């Protein structure tokens, strides 16, 4: 029952989270910092109350290790959200972040000296080609949709190129954080709830450097149109409602993934997260009418097929089907 519940949380929380993030970014593309701050603050307060026991519970993993992990996590979160302010459309944002397998493999080879099968290299090549197609087609759209002025077109493309660089950096940093987290769990054991709390609580002082931008967007949010919240009937500026729903759904999403990692194999988690990304992508394209050509669809297909190939889902499913037959023969 818990795995099914976790899958429901992942799809409901993560998919709706993307919707509210896009509603925020469409109105104010530069709101990434206030969104990140709100998410971190909410999860930190919840963790302080229920996981850290109001600060009375000592961490199982030393704080100095969390400080390193937190630096990477904070950087990845801020850069990923800020990329939406750099001419990066939400569908490309989702597709690009699906390329985490590439970053994990590259850093795994360099840092952990891992070696992979030819099948896995082929799957990563497929993901790389898919991301390249989507990125290349998005680059053409950026230049064609910008002003007829050559300077404006170049400026739009330059910001887009900077956004791609930011996403690439965040992808590699996230993979490095995953490797560091893996080594910590091997040494001290798995403490997901604790890690979730410290990863969100320790970076909070870092938002002081982003305070002016956060305040400016808080003012913009206050001046947005009023909205009556269903059921409750309270009237609030609509941007604050979007932000509140984004924070709540982010928490539901994270909790769902957490339960899934404790109840299911890593293959199941990868499949659920991959399918969730695909559903979010489809919804973003259809509901928000984001430009998406057949080339984009081809690139997306390559990314998701490559991801499934990497997890060797077909071999696993084949083995699962073969088990009942073997047991029947034995009996």
Q: What is the mean pLDDT of residues 15-43?
A: 92
pLDDT at 149: 56
Distances (CA, A) of 83 to 9, 77, 124, 239, 304: 26, 10, 24, 20, 22
| Spatial distance between the Cα atoms of 57 and 52, rounded to a whole number of angstroms | 5
Q: What is the mean pLDDT of residues 219-238?
A: 94
Q: What is the mean pLDDT of residues 249-265?
A: 81
pLDDT at 110: 86
| Spatial distance between the Cα atoms of 204 and 191, rounded to a whole number of angstroms | 21
The predicted-structure confidence for 95-129, as pLDDT tens digits, reads as follows 777 777 778 788 888 887 888 888 888 888 888 88
Q: Is the pLDDT of residue 224 over 90?
A: yes
Kind and range of the H or E run holding 70 = helix 63-82
CB contact at 8 A, 87 and 159: yes
pLDDT at 223: 96
* Helix residue ranges, H only, 202-237: 211-222
Smallest CA-to-CA distance from 184 within 64, 283, 94 is with: 64
Encoded tokens for 282: 């489809």
The predicted-structure confidence for 39-83, as pLDDT tens digits, reads as follows 999 999 999 999 888 888 999 999 999 999 889 988 998 898 888
pLDDT at 84: 79
Residue 277 pLDDT level (bands cut at 50, 70, 90) = confident
The predicted-structure confidence for 154-180, as pLDDT tens digits, reads as follows 787 888 889 889 999 998 998 888 888
Q: What is the mean pLDDT of residues 282-293?
A: 77
Q: Is the pLDDT of residue 204 over 90?
A: yes
| Spatial distance between the Cα atoms of 108 and 116, rounded to a whole number of angstroms | 10
Encoded tokens for 322: 């073969």
pLDDT at 96: 78
pLDDT at 321: 53
Distances (CA, A) of 87 to 141, 142, 143, 208: 11, 8, 11, 26
| Spatial distance between the Cα atoms of 99 and 97, rounded to a whole number of angstroms | 5
pLDDT at 70: 87
Q: Is the pLDDT of residue 308 over 90?
A: no
| Spatial distance between the Cα atoms of 80 and 68, rounded to a whole number of angstroms | 19
Lowest mean pLDDT: which of 157-166, 182-191, 281-290?
281-290
pLDDT at 328: 46
What torsion do the CA atoms of 148, 149, 150, 154 make, to the nearest 10 degrees?
-90
| Spatial distance between the Cα atoms of 191 and 188, rounded to a whole number of angstroms | 8
Residue 142 pLDDT level (bands cut at 50, 70, 90) = low
| Spatial distance between the Cα atoms of 29 and 93, rounded to a whole number of angstroms | 13
């Amino acid at each position: 029952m818990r795995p099914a519940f976790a899958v429901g949380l992942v799809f409901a929380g993560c998919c709706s989270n993307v919707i509210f993030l896009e509603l925020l970014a469409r109105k104010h593309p530069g709101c990434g910092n206030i969104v990140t701050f709100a998410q971190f603050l909410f999860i930190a307060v919840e963790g302080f109350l229920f996981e850290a026991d109001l600060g009375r519970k000592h961490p199982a993993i030393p704080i100095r290790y969390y400080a390193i992990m937190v630096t990477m996590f904070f950087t990845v979160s801020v850069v990923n959200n800020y990329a939406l302010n750099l001419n990066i459309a939400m569908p490309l944002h989702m597709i690009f972040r699906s390329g985490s397998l590439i970053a994990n493999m590259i850093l795994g080879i360099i840092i952990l000296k891992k070696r992979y099968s030819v099948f896995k290299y082929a799957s990563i090549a497929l993901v790389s080609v898919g991301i390249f197609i989507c990125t290349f087609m998005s680059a053409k759209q950026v230049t064609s949709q910008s002003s007829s002025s050559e300077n404006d077109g170049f400026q739009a493309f330059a910001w887009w190129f900077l956004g791609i660089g930011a996403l690439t950096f965040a992808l590699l940093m996230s993979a490095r954080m995953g490797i560091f987290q893996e080594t910590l769990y091997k040494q001290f054991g798995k403490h997901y709830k604790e890690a979730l709390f410290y990863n969100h609580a320790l970076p909070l002082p870092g938002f002081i450097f982003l305070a002016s931008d956060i305040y400016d967007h808080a003012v913009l949010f206050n001046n947005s149109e009023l909205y009556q919240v269903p059921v409750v009937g309270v009237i609030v500026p609509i941007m604050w409602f979007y932000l509140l729903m984004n924070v709540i759904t982010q928490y539901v999403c994270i909790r769902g993934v957490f339960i899934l990692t404790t109840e299911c194999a890593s293959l199941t988690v990868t499949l659920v997260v991959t399918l969730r990304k695909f559903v979010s992508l489809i919804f973003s394209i259809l509901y928000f009418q984001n430009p998406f050509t057949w080339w984009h669809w081809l690139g997306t297909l390559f990314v998701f097929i490559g991801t499934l190939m990497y997890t060797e889902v077909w071999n696993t499913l084949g083995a699962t089907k073969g088990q009942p037959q073997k047991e029947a023969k034995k009996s």
